[in-house]
């Protein structure tokens, strides 16, 4: 059985793969200090945090 799962031919960039292939493709996260979003304004940051808190 193939690890790849069929996906629509709608030219989307979403690729669905099976668990084994997902694990094979996984990469470690960068250090915490490098995970920020550059050029994010205070207003955008506040809106992001508010959206997370609303969940």
Q: What is the pLDDT of residues 3-45, one digit of tens each?
A: 555 555 556 688 899 999 999 999 999 998 888 888 999 999 9
Distance CA(38)–CA(6), nearest Å, equals: 35
**Residues 4 and 18: beta-carbon distance below 8 Å:** yes
Q: Give the pair of three-digit tokens for residue 55.
A: 């969940």
pLDDT at 26: 93
Task: Report residue 12 CA to chain centroid gap.
Answer: 15
For residue 5, which of 52, 23, 15 has the smallest C-alpha distance? 15
**pTM check: above 0.85:** no
């Amino acid at each position: 059985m193939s690890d790849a799962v069929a996906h629509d031919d709608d030219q989307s960039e979403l690729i669905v793969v099976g668990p084994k292939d997902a694990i094979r493709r996984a990469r470690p996260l960068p250090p915490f200090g490098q995970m920020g979003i550059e050029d994010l304004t205070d207003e955008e940051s506040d809106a992001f945090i508010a959206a997370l808190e609303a969940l």
